[in-house]
Structure 1
Amino acid sequence: MKKWVSISLLLACTTNLAGQSRGRPVDSVINALIDNQLQLAKNQRDSFVGKNYRQADLLTTLLKLKGPDLGEKVFFLHFWFASCVPCIREFNGLEEMYKEYKDNKNFAFLSFTFENAATIADFKEKYHLTFPIQAVSENEINRLKLFPGYPVNILLGKGFIVEECYYGGMGSEQKSTMFIKDHISPLVNNLLQAKRIP
């Protein structure tokens, strides 16, 4: 999967560099490609938002989640890997959101990667991450996330309803942080205040 994403990005960059980079720095071409991917993700998200999260059973089994209040929780699911630059750009905004809601018993922030424990520890130290990161197999991640590629973020409302989902990241750390702060955090807040409709 990592090879496919890298090859696709490299191919897209080299194809576009020839025709579009006259007078434009390489970074702006790459950022434009990332922004284009984000737009595609927004178009695809409509098939998931407002529907039941189809992997709720796998999620609860994998993490051994149980209890009568499980359907009352709001879940934020985050999928990443170490050499994914757009994934890393999200860390600051995600860390801020995690700190804002971590003490709310009705909120669960779940970050998933297929990286080993040493890599996870290195990343937590390097990027000052305090949110929990769960190592699972790449196969399990592919079953849990709704989209191909990385990063993938899924916000589940009460009753495991998909309230928001997006993939591909943003063109910069600042854009990622602002999107999470201005769009995702208010959604989390509204969902935590909402009552579940049986």
Structure 2
Amino acid sequence: MTALPEDRPPLLTEDDRESAVRRLREAYAEGHVAHEQLDACLQRVLTARTHGELKSALAPLPAQEPAPVSTIAAAGGRIRRHGAWRVPRRLKVESAFGNVDLDLSRAVIDHAVVDIELRLGTGRARITVPRDAVVDFEGLRTGWKDVLHRPRRASRTGGPTVRITGALEFGLLKIRHARR
């Protein structure tokens, strides 16, 4: 029987492959992988087509610890981050009655993927992402209004992926791409 397209396992993206190569390099630098083993694992990562093949190529590596979560919280008032601030890999933002304004356009982003978990009661949230960022907010639950986001038409590649999850009860989230 011929497999239909939806029956096939999802293919790897370039972000998946780059993340695996970065993980191999870090394991090699920390002394967890010998030089000969690095070459073999790297070859398997670069030729992998599915997530299963990639997982098998990374099996010799030690288990990866999850990134720590940085939390910004306020019961009321405003949470604001602008300028050249360092964005952690995982950021949790909690506010019961305030507004949130996160500007990542000039921030220092060291990771290919940034996870932002929003826990907001009321108020609005505005997140400005870099011009070339990819935004994923499928994991965000909204109780009152939809998320306002207009993806860039001609996006350059190589920017970070910003994944927004969590819950926004009675507020509004506006996501925009920086103009420069």
TM class, shorter-length: under 0.3
| Larger relative contact order (CA 8 Å, sep ≥ 6) | 1
Q: Give the TM-score normalised by the residue count of structure 1.
A: 0.26
Instruction: Decide which structure has greater strand share.
Output: 2
Higher Cα Rg: structure 1 or 2?
2
Q: Give the TM-score normalised by the residue count of structure 2.
A: 0.27
